[in-house]
Structure 1
Amino acid sequence: MSDKKPGFFQRLFGTQGAPLPAPTETPQKIPDSPAPPMPGPAPFAPEPPPAPVPADHPPPPGPPETTPDYIERIEDQFITPPAAVGEPAKPQGWFARLATGLRRSSDTLGTSITSVFTKRKLDAATLDELEDVLIQADLGVDTASAITETLRRDRFDKEISDADVRAVLAAEVEKVLDPVARPLVIDSAKKPFVILMIGVNGSGKTTTIGKLAQKFSREGRSIMLAAGDTFRAAAIEQLQVWGQRTGAPVIARPAGADASGLAFDAVTQATAENRDILIIDTAGRLQNREELMGELEKVIRVIKKVDPSAPHATLLTLDATTGQNALKQVEIFGQRAGVTGLVMTKLDGTARGGILVAIASRFGLPVHFIGVGEGVEDLEPFAASDFARAITGGAHP
Structure 2
Amino acid sequence: MSAGFQAPRGIPDYVPPGSAQFVAVRDGLLQAARLAGYGHIELPVFEDTALFARGVGESTDVVSKEMYTFADRGDRSVTLRPEGTAGVMRAVIQHGLDRGALPVKLSYAGPFFRYEKPQTGRYRQLQQVGVEAIGVDDPALDAEVVAIADEGYRRLGLRNHRLEITSLGDGTDRPAYRERLQEFLLSLDLDEDTRNRARLNPLRVLDDKRPHVRELTADAPLMIDHLSESSRAHFDAVLGHLDRMGVAYVVNPRLVRGLDYYTKTTFEFVHDGLGAQSGIGGGGRYDGLMRDLGGKQELSGIGFGLGVDRTVLALEAENVAAAPDARCDVFGVPMGENALDELVALAAALRAAGVRVDLAYGGRGLKGAMKAADRSGARYALVLGDRELEAREIEVKDLGTGHQQRMPIDGVVAWLRAQVLLSR
The bucket for the TM-score relative to the shorter chain is: under 0.3
Q: Which has the larger radius of gyration?
A: 1
TM-score (normalised: structure 2): 0.20
Q: Which has the higher contact order (CA 8 A, sep 6+)?
A: 1
